[in-house]
Amino acid sequence: MSSDQRESQQETTVDGSGTTTMRATAATTTFSSQRLRINPNNEHRPESYEDLKLDFPSAVYSSLEKYLPQQILVSSREEKVKFMTDIMLRHLPHGERSRVSTLTSSLELLPFTVMSSDQRESQQETTVDGSGTTTMRATAATTTFSSQRLRINPNNEHRPESYEDLKLDFPSAVYSSLEKYLPQQILVSSREEKVKFMTDIMLRHLPHGERSRAQRHSVYRQKIITNYQPLHKELYTLAPMQCFVPSFIKAINESSEKSFRSIISEPSPGVFVFDMLQPSFCEMMLAEVENFEKWVGETKFRIMRPNTMNKYGAVLDDFGLDSMLDKLMESFIRPMTKVFFSDVGGATLDSHHGFVVEYGKDRDLDLGFHVDDSEVTLNVCLGNQFVGGELFFRGTRCERHVNTTTKPDEIYDYSHVPGQAVLHRGRHRHGARATTSGHRVNMLLWCRSSVFRELKSHQKEFSSWCGECFCEKKEEKGRALDALRQVKAFD
């Protein structure tokens, strides 16, 4: 089609990494008189389209190129893309084109917004106490946003600022981690402006009323830490040689997929099992938890349980183990999740929820089918003697597909071994069978990525990790190829 005939234009953009994106921007197209060849030009060597972000798989364009008429074949790659995209879009069912455009555009630079000074209803209060510590807090929940966007890929050349001297709504490490994803306009602004922008992002992911709950929880935690006397103080500073088995330390030090694979088994896709904790560390942790529960009973202190499903157990962060668990996640878990779970933010884990759960007589018996509030979950059995309690896995699903049917190849049951760890996506559906005798205690670390959660909120399909999205995308690709075959048959 000619330029003045084209109602379905192609937008061509180049992002910071040099990747070119080409998208159709309207649904109605007027075609010129050019037609596809009936027989392919087998002497022609097709171009590669893998460096472009297109409406259809790049391999489809390379395959179709041999059927282009000579006038189009000798034109620029952009013109060929326009011509072939127009042909394929003609064969999509009514309304399918706009759906495809929505799905593909959601993977481009994702919209996120920052408030301007005159737009901000959720202001930051900045105060300095007598010790010189600066406190920054948002004062309202309603905000009006401008068009600023987060980067999809981090600026690894940027060195983040430290936020440890500030009292913030979230851990300082979260701000340092998120800073690499800030747009350039925000990145060069003052630290206060960056804090405002990043706080706005994270507050978006707190349910209504969660903010005040988090502040009350902070006061609650401080009361425990002030009054509780630890039994094993060495637990509170992570000493690798005393904590981990030698094979795990060796793999982490080498920090490569090969070294991780040497200690890991993957009995089911996305479920990784490996020996991790020393027996002596497990014993100390069990004793510490027992000592904490004894203190709770003696002081009549009412504690918060790990989650809404477990009636027994304790939040490890609440009695001072948060710094140790931060180090565990950042230095020993994140190197592995960066390799195996990059599709769910494994490289950008920046916060955690650490706790122990207890099963057996006079404790929780089992745990229903569920997904975790995490990107990646670490589950390690600490002991004691028990029978039953197997974990059962039933496939990874996004929120839209969480209740869909389990496929035969997604069924896997795991039997706990003290000191052995299981690492899996938080969205991997699972549950725990009844512990029929004895007493079982497990330590869990829900690892989260604020970056991934922000990016995910703008996407509609997750075929890289959701089993059902993957099947839908595969079926969609099949339909596109069928349409292509029909084009070849009729043109």
- 330 contacts 346 by C-beta, under 8 angstroms: no
Which residue has better confidence, 414 or 80?
A: 414
User: In this model, does residue 27 exceed pLDDT 90?
Assistant: no
Residue 176's pLDDT is what? 83
Predicted confidence band of residue 210 (pLDDT cuts 50, 70, 90): low
Q: Which tens digits make up the pLDDT trace of 451-462?
A: 898 888 888 889
Which residue has better confidence, 104 or 366?
A: 366
Residue 460's pLDDT is what? 82
Could you report how far apart the first and last alpha carbons of the chain are, in Å? 16
Predicted confidence band of residue 171 (pLDDT cuts 50, 70, 90): confident
Q: Which tens digits make up the pLDDT trace of 94-148?
A: 444 443 443 333 333 333 333 333 333 334 444 444 444 444 444 433 333 345 6
Task: Give CATH 2.60.120.620 domain extents, the chain.
Answer: 230-458
User: In this model, does residue 60 exceed pLDDT 80?
Assistant: no
Q: How far is CA 54 from CA 11, 34, 105, 150, 230, in A?
A: 10, 22, 9, 22, 58
Predicted confidence band of residue 245 (pLDDT cuts 50, 70, 90): very high
Which of 63-67, 123-127, 420-424 is the least confident region? 123-127
HEC profile for the chain?
Answer: CCCCCCCCCEEEEECCCCCEEEEECCCCCCCCCCCCCCCCCCCCCCCCCCCEECCCCHHHHHHHHHHCCHHHHCCCHHHHHHHHHHHHHHCCCCCHHHHHHHHHHCCCCCECCCCCCCCCCCCEEEEECCCCCEEEEECCCCCCCCCCECCCCCCCCCCCCCCCCEECCCCHHHHHHHHCCCCHHHHCCCHHHHHHHHHHHHHCCCCCCHHHHHHHHHHHHHHHHHHCCCCCHHHHCCCHHHHECHHHHHHHHHCCHHHHHHHCEEEECCEEEEECECHHHHHHHHHHHHHHHHHHHHHCCCCCCCCCCCCCCEEHHHHCCHHHHHHHHHHHHHHHHHHHCHHHCCCCCCEEEEEEEEEECCCECCEEEECCCCCEEEEEEEECCEEECCEEEEEECCHHHCCCCCCHHHEEEECCCCCEEEEEECCEEEEECCEEEEEEEEEEEEEECHHHHHHHCCCCCCCCCCHHHHHHHHHHHHHHHHHHHHHHHHC
Residue 457's pLDDT is what? 82
Euclidean distance between CA atoms 418 and 429, whole angstroms: 22
Which residue has better confidence, 489 or 274?
A: 274
Handedness of CA 464, 466, 468, 472 (dihedral sign): negative
Residue 361's pLDDT is what? 85
Which residue has better confidence, 86 or 305?
A: 305
Rounded mean pLDDT, 309-332: 92
- Quote the percentage of the chain above a pLDDT of 90: 40
Which residue has better confidence, 180 or 55?
A: 180
The values of phi and psi at residue 124, to 5°, are -100, 130
Half-sphere exposure of 437 (CA within 13 A, CB side): 1
**CATH superfamily label, 230-458:** q2cbj1_9rhob like domain (2.60.120.620)
Which residue has better confidence, 268 or 78?
A: 268
Rounded mean pLDDT, 294-310: 87
CB proximity list for 487: less than 8 A, separation 6 or greater: 36, 64, 87, 88, 91
**Burial environment of residue 483 by CB neighbours within 10 A (0 to 12, 13 to 18, 19 or more):** buried
The values of phi and psi at residue 159, to 5°, are -100, 110
User: In this model, does residue 225 exceed pLDDT 70?
Assistant: yes
User: In this model, does residue 42 exceed pLDDT 60?
Assistant: yes
The values of phi and psi at residue 165, to 5°, are -85, 0
Residue 334's pLDDT is what? 96
Euclidean distance between CA atoms 354 and 351, whole angstroms: 10
Euclidean distance between CA atoms 212 and 451, whole angstroms: 23
User: In this model, does residue 306 exceed pLDDT 70?
Assistant: yes
Strand partners, 490: none
Q: Which tens digits make up the pLDDT trace of 376-419?
A: 999 999 988 899 999 999 999 999 999 999 999 999 999 999 99
Q: Which two tokens stand for residue 65?
A: 């190129």
Euclidean distance between CA atoms 423 and 412, whole angstroms: 14
User: In this model, does residue 468 exceed pLDDT 60?
Assistant: yes
Q: How many residues does the chain have?
A: 491
Residue 170's pLDDT is what? 75
User: In this model, does residue 36 exceed pLDDT 80?
Assistant: no
pTM of the model: 0.60
- 294 contacts 300 by C-beta, under 8 angstroms: no
Rounded mean pLDDT, 16-29: 39
Predicted confidence band of residue 90 (pLDDT cuts 50, 70, 90): low
